[in-house]
Every structure is written in structure tokens, then in C-alpha cells.
């Protein structure tokens, strides 16, 4: 599997250089590859064939080069693909969720890529029993003949007669909304384009709410649609005037309230509409205040509010009445506890369940409204992941939760909140076989530069020799408050079973150790994210798991930005870098307020247009702006042509800059999916081909 990287690099594509200068705050930045940004990018999102020929030619050259460099791994990629596919139960099904007389679920068919949405009578219970099944929407039929296809939602009306579903056929995340009459099997003529994918039914079964995307791909309006009406008759219910705020819709657990959710990364505002009176004007719960986040659930004649108000950094739960909803009336129900982050709240008729995270590990707390007594659901493993889901029913004592660990496949339980009994409803099967006892799972604490202890979760085979020389894959993200759960990752085992140690660095910028962990990794503290990742790598070396130059780093999107920064800062630590759809041209993007995510993301990174301090700080780490003439690790970089989150030209410009300046002969390969967006290829098997490419790249690089 060895090859000659020197000769390969001699034939690497060279992007044309066209002089261009960005100027702001009396600072000039030369950008020789600015031409890779399509001036008609909005049009390309909808119609990829509208991409300028010179840009398309360059991307195709890079794709050809990627194929040529990886040609000696084609058989290995096929083998890895079959391994990855072998860990997926092809005829799988979700646990049915009850709603009235029906059970709703999603299943997959053997050999098929897309989900099938189904229901069956409630008495016909059981995961495997498909008697009396009714297929509501078959994604495989809908996807026929399409290069890309993704279903964002499939929501049934309260009377179970209709479904509203939304699909994306380009990867651009522009979703088309359609409605199907389940009594006749006929789709209505109602077709709504350019939605964000979400849809909520009102109680009258004739009205639905949806959000639309503006020309800059931001969800900014909520509209109300009545079945049978032309789209131009739809009523504007809410319009957001601040380009920094995104708008979403939802429904409370009780089903009584339609919710309009306006938010950026640090401020939120909720408006309510009675589901039984959909034509009524939305009423704000509490007017937005900078830095105050909240979300609400209704219970009887009161609202329960999950919020960070009053310096509740890790959030608290308040209550207030419907006639006095403003923040000044909120009273503590569950007080703030520093270091105990309340992640989410589910409200039922007689119970409340909340998901917390303490020192990087989740826990579930159940409260009985009748006496306000609470109890915790206990778990034993050293590192694990939890999730809770509301289901469709409000008057129930059953809480559904999922559990997994790095070595334990996902298990779904129904938990009786009254009797405290848990019933295993499903355990993910690994058809090709999996023995949890063959692996060791550990949780370490890596000291960072300022004494902060960074949790690191890892898994390896028990027979892997830990002599300080083992190859290690270190994954990281560290942005937007997104924690990285220590759950089961079936795709990691092709590497782990070949001797890799797989590790996750729970770095600042996520909420792995509370909301303060997030605050210490954003804005003018963003560099903690990168230093924490490096500290995790150094600690794994010090503990004898691996060695400098034996580490592969992996991250995507904002985690891809992390990859760009650490490859600039400490290239000596890493033998390989895998950056999926990486956000690497941070300064240029944050200075372009026409792009979809720029104004909403200023609270995350800072606003370099308004603040020279923010400009200088972002410039000091932005990967594209800090590529230098030095040796870099072997690199695999990916992009999606119709990606509205991290536009394709960011990784394209980064790769071009690296080719221009890097002094090594290591691999640098770049692949753009020309018919997909941020999430990569659609279909559960097509995505595995991208994983197989990554694994083959790493095995080739480490000569395994």
C-alpha cells in the first residue's frame, strides 16, 4: 500500500492565483484564491449545474487527484465499506411510539438507503411484528433517480388523516413541503418550496405552520397554511427583522401551544399560539434580552421555563402563570446548581424529566408533580451517553430513553416514572458481530495550559499493545456548546480492530463540563478550544497510549476549523489530519454578512466588522490566514458543493493555500461531493463510502 508521495505531489492540482485584497480596519489581507467563491452561490445551492466552469474544473481536478492518490486503496475501500455496512442491521426499525389508536415508527428495508415511515394499530405492538402495517411515506420510492435525497420531517395531523413531509433533493437544505391524505393515499396539490424543513400541525387538522428561508438561506419567517389554499394565500405569522436571529417552530409536549422560536447563540425569545385557535396572533412569553436564553413547556395553567436568567450559568427551571409570562414573574422551581448543567426538560401530565450533565457525564432526574419528589435513574459504566425523547403522548407515565457507551451498542428503554421499572425495548444489533468484553473503555483528565482538566474518552481492544507506539485517532469539535457524547460509534471499529486507539477530546467550546465550559471556549477565549485539544494529545502521549507523530486528528465543520488551527500550531504532533467540510476561512466568512450563518454566528466568534479587537483575534487563529511555510501532516479534506453551512470554497481555498506554502511531501487530498451538502452523501450506505475513504486514507498513511 506504500506509494511515492513526492511524485504524487508533483502532479497535484495548482489553483490559479488571482490577486484580490480584503481591507478592513486599516488591515490588508491578500487572497489569491477568492475567485473560488461563486458570485452566484445562492443560485448554485438550488441548481449545482450553474457553477462557473473554471471553478467546477478546479474542483473536478482535485477530485481526480484524490482518486489517483487513493487508487491503490480501492480494494481496501471496498473491504472497509462491507465491514461498515456489516455493522448495520439492514431491515431495522425504530421502537414504535404510541399516539391514540396508532403506533408510529420508522424502518429500513434490506438493501435500501432511505427510511420508510409507517404506522400500525396500537394493539399490534412489538418491534418485529409488522402485521396490519400501513406505509405512510417510502423514502426509497421518492428517491428513485435522484443523486441526492433527504427527508427532513414527516408529521401526522392530530386526527391521523394527513402527513406533512419535507424533502431536499440537492443537499442545499432548501426543503419542499408536501401533504398526503392517508385515507386516499393521494398527495394534495399543496406544494411549498424553500422551507427549512420543519412543520407543525394545529389542532384543527387543516392548518399547519412552517418556516421559510430568505435569499441568504436564513429561516426568517413563519407562515400559516390552510389545506387546499394556494401558497400565495399563506398568512405571514411572524417575521424576524434581526438577520442575526434564526426562527424555528415547535409544539409543546401537551400539544396545546404552537411555539415560534427566535434565537441566536446566546439569546432567545418564544412566542405562543394556541393550537386550538391557529388564526390568533402570537404572544411573546418574555421579550428578548441579550444573553438570556429560555425555552418553555406548558403544564395545566402554568408555564415551566428552562433558562439561564439571573446568572444561572448552568440553567434552572422556573414557573409562571399564562397571564403573567414575563421574566419578572418567573419563580424558581429547580434552583441553579453551578456545575450541574440542565440540558433539556420534558413535561408530562404528572411527571417532569430533565437531562443533566455533571463532570462530562449525563444523568436523568424524574420529578413527580404531586409531591415534587425526585429520583435519578442510575447507570454504571465509566463513560456513557444518554438521550430522552418526548413521544406523542402527554398523559403517560412512560419515559423513553436511550443509553450507549463506546463499547455498548445503543439500548432503548421505556421507563415507568411511577414504579421506576425500566423495560428494554430495543438493543441495536451488529449483524457482523460485536463483543463488548473485547474492548477497554477509559476516561482520562488531561491538564490544559491554565490547569483546566479536559475529559478524554477512549476505547481500544484489550489486546492492543500500549507501548507508546500505537496509532491513535483523536476526535474533537468544541464549538456552539455542542458536547461530544461518549456513545457507541459503530464506524470506529474498523480502525480500533486494526490496532488504533480511538479517543474523543471533550474540549472547551462544548458544554461537556457545564455551560461555563462553553463560555471558556468562545469569542475572545476561543483559543482554549485549540490548546485543550493539543493538551489532550500530549496527555495521551504522556500516559503511554501513543507517540508524537502517531496521532491522526479528525473533526468536521467547526471541528474542521479545529483541525486547521492545530495543524498550523502543532503539526509535529500529528501524522494525519482529516477535516470534513471544515470552517477554515473564519475571518473572511465572518466579514461577509450576506452568507447564511454570518450574522447569527457573531455571538459565537465575535463581529470582526464592528470590532477591530474581534477582527485581530479571529485573524490570529483563522486557519487560512495562518498557513505558513512549514511541514504539515498528511491531510484529507472534504467539501459539499451545495453546503449552506460551510461553503465549498472555504476548504478549497485552504487546500490551495496549503499547496502553495507547505514544505513537506506528505499527502494532501481534497474531495468535493458535487451532489451533496454539509452532511455528505444521502442514504445510509452512500455515507459509508465516505467513511471507508477516510479509514483507507488513515490505514495507508500509517502503513497498516
Buried b (16+ CB within 10 A) or exposed e, 358-380: eebbbbbbbbeeeeeeeeebeee
Please, which residues bridge with residue 307 across strands?
Answer: 294, 316
Neighbour count for residue 406 (Cβ, 10 Å): 29
* Whole-angstrom distance, CA of residue 31 vs CA of residue 618: 16
Residue 643 is among the residues annotated as catalytic for this protein? yes
93, 402, 557, 682: which one is catalytic? 557
Neighbour count for residue 628 (Cβ, 10 Å): 11
Which cell numbers in the block locate residue 614? Answer: 474581534
According to DSSP, residue 149 is labeled -
Measured in degrees and rounded to the nearest 5, phi and psi for residue 386 equal -130, 155
Q: Give the residue ranges of DSSP H helices in 363-510.
A: 493-496
Please, which residues bridge with residue 358 across strands?
Answer: 340, 361
Dihedral angle, C-alpha 270, 271, 277, 279, nearest 10 ° = -140
| Residue entry with cell 490544559 | 448
In 3-state terms, what secondary structure has residue 600? helix
* Whole-angstrom distance, CA of residue 104 vs CA of residue 106: 7
Please give the C-alpha separations between residue 589 and each of 114, 134, 655, 677, in angstroms, as whole numbers.
34, 47, 16, 18
Please, which residues bridge with residue 93 across strands?
Answer: 107
How deeply is 2 buried, as exposed, middle or buried, from its count of CB atoms within 10 A (0-12, 13-18, 19+)?
Answer: exposed
* Whole-angstrom distance, CA of residue 682 vs CA of residue 677: 9
* Whole-angstrom distance, CA of residue 699 vs CA of residue 634: 12
Which cell numbers in the block locate residue 268? Answer: 432567545
* Whole-angstrom distance, CA of residue 273 vs CA of residue 286: 14
CA dihedral over 420, 423, 428, 434, signed as positive or negative: positive
* Whole-angstrom distance, CA of residue 199 vs CA of residue 164: 7
Q: Which long-range contacts (CB under 8 A, 24 or more apart) does 442-446 make?
A: 442/382, 442/383, 443/360, 443/382, 443/383, 443/486, 444/539, 444/540, 444/543, 446/505, 446/532, 446/535, 446/536, 446/538, 446/539, 446/540
Q: Are strands 472-475 and 501-505 parallel, antiparallel or unpaired?
A: parallel
Is the separation of the CB atoms in 182 and 190 below 8 Å?
Answer: no
Measured in degrees and rounded to the nearest 5, phi and psi for residue 91 equal -100, 60
How deeply is 6 buried, as exposed, middle or buried, from its count of CB atoms within 10 A (0-12, 13-18, 19+)?
Answer: exposed
643, 667, 682, 695: which one is catalytic? 643
**Measuring CA to CA, which residue among 102, 127, 133, 130 is closest to residue 423?**
127
Residue 375 is among the residues annotated as catalytic for this protein? no
Angle between helices 527-542 and 558-569 in degrees, nearest 10:
70
Which cell numbers in the block locate residue 440? Answer: 477497554
Residue 557 is among the residues annotated as catalytic for this protein? yes
Q: Which residues contact 529 (CB under 8 A, 6 or more apart)?
A: 478, 479, 507, 508, 509, 521, 562
268, 336, 678, 682: which one is catalytic? 678
Active site residues: 557, 643, 678
Amino acid at each position: 500500500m506504500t506509494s511515492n508521495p513526492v511524485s504524487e505531489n508533483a502532479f497535484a492540482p495548482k489553483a490559479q492565483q488571482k490577486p484580490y485584497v480584503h481591507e478592513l480596519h486599516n488591515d490588508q489581507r491578500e487572497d489569491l484564491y477568492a475567485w473560488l467563491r461563486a458570485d452566484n452561490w445562492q443560485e448554485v445551492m438550488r441548481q449545482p449545474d450553474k457553477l462557473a466552469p473554471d471553478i467546477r474544473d478546479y474542483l473536478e481536478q482535485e477530485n481526480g487527484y484524490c482518486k489517483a492518490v487513493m487508487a491503490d486503496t480501492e480494494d481496501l475501500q471496498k473491504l472497509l465499506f462491507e465491514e461498515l455496512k456489516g455493522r448495520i442491521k439492514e431491515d431495522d426499525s425504530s421502537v414504535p411510539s404510541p399516539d391514540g389508536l396508532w403506533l408510529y415508527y420508522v424502518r429500513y428495508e434490506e438493501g435500501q438507503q432511505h427510511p420508510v415511515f409507517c404506522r400500525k394499530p396500537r394493539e399490534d405492538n412489538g418491534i418485529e411484528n409488522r402485521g396490519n402495517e400501513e406505509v405512510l411515506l417510502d423514502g426509497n420510492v421518492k428517491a428513485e433517480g435522484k443523486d441526492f435525497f433527504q427527508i427532513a420531517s414527516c408529521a401526522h395531523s392530530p386526527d391521523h388523516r394527513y402527513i406533512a413531509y419535507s424533502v431536499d433533493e440537492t443537499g442545499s437544505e432548501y426543503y419542499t413541503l408536501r401533504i398526503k391524505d392517508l385515507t386516499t393515499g393521494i398527495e394534495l396539490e399543496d406544494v411549498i418550496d424553500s422551507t427549512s424543513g420543519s412543520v407543525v400541525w394545529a389542532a384543527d387538522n387543516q392548518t399547519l405552520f412552517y418556516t421559510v428561508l430568505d435569499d441568504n438561506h436564513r429561516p426568517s419567517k413563519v407562515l400559516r397554511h390552510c389545506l387546499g389554499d394556494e401558497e400565495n394565500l399563506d398568512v405571514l405569522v411572524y417575521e424576524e427583522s434581526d438577520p442575526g436571529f434564526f426562527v424555528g417552530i415547535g409544539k409543546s409536549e401537551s400539544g396545546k401551544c404552537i411555539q415560534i422560536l427566535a434565537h441566536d447563540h446566546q439569546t432567545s425569545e418564544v412566542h405562543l399560539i394556541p393550537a386550538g385557535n391557529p388564526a390568533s396572533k402570537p404572544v411573546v412569553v418574555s421579550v428578548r434580552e441579550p444573553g438570556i436564553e429560555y425555552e418553555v413547556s406548558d403544564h395545566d395553567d402554568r408555564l415551566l421555563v428552562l433558562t439561564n436568567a439571573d446568572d444561572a450559568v448552568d440553567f434552572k427551571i422556573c414557573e409562571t402563570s399564562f397571564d403573567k409570562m414575563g421574566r419578572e414573574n418567573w419563580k424558581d422551581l429547580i434552583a441553579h446548581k453551578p456545575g450541574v448543567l440542565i440540558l433539556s426538560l420534558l413535561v408530562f401530565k404528572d411527571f417532569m424529566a430533565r437531562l443533566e450533565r455533571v463532570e462530562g457525564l449525563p444523568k436523568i432526574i424524574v420529578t413527580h408533580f404531586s409531591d415534587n419528589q425526585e429520583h435519578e435513574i442510575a447507570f454504571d459504566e465509566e463513560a456513557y451517553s444518554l438521550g430522552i425523547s418526548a413521544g406523542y403522548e402527554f398523559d403517560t407515565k412512560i419515559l423513553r430513553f436511550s443509553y450507549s457507551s463506546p463499547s455498548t451498542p445503543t439500548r432503548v428503554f421505556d421507563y415507568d416514572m411511577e414504579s421506576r421499572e425500566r423495560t428494554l425495548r430495543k438493543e441495536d444489533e451488529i449483524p457482523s458481530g460485536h463483543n463488548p468484553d473485547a474492548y477497554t473503555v477509559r476516561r482520562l483528565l488531561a491538564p490544559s495550559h491554565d490547569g483546566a482538566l479536559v475529559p478524554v474518552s477512549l476505547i481500544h481492544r484489550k489486546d492492543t499493545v500500549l507501548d507508546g507506539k500505537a496509532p491513535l485517532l483523536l476526535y474533537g469539535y468544541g464549538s456552539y456548546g455542542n458536547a461530544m457524547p461518549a456513545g457507541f460509534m459503530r464506524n470506529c471499529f474498523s480502525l480500533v480492530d486494526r490496532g488504533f486507539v480511538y479517543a474523543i477530546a471533550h474540549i472547551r467550546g462544548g458544554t461537556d463540563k457545564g455551560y461555563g465550559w462553553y463560555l471558556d471556549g468562545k469569542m475572545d477565549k476561543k483559543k482554549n478550544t485549540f490548546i485543550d485539544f493539543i493538551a489532550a494529545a500530549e496527555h495521551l502521549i504522556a500516559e503511554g497510549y501513543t507517540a508524537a507523530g502517531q496521532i491522526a486528528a479528525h473533526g468536521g465543520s467547526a471541528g474542521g476549523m479545529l483541525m486547521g488551527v492545530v495543524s498550523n500550531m502543532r503539526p509535529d504532533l500529528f501524522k494525519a489530519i482529516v477535516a470534513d467540510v471544515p470552517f477554515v476561512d473564519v475571518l473572511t466568512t465572518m466579514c461577509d454578512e450576506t452568507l447564511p450563518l454570518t450574522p447569527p454566528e457573531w455571538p459565537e466568534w465575535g463581529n470582526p466588522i464592528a470590532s477591530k479587537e474581534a477582527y485581530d483575534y479571529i485573524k490570529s487563529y483563522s486557519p487560512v490566514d495562518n498557513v505558513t511555510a512549514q511541514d504539515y501532516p498528511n491531510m484529507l479534506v472534504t467539501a459539499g458543493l451545495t453546503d449552506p453551512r460551510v461553503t465549498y470554497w472555504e476548504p478549497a481555498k485552504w487546500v490551495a493555500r496549503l499547496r502553495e506554502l507547505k514544505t513537506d511531501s506528505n499527502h494532501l487530498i481534497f474531495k468535493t461531493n458535487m451532489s451533496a451538502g454539509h452532511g455528505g452523501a444521502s442514504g445510509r450506505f452512500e455515507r459509508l463510502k465516505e467513511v471507508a475513504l477516510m479509514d483507507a486514507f488513515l490505514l495507508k498513511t500509517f502503513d497498516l
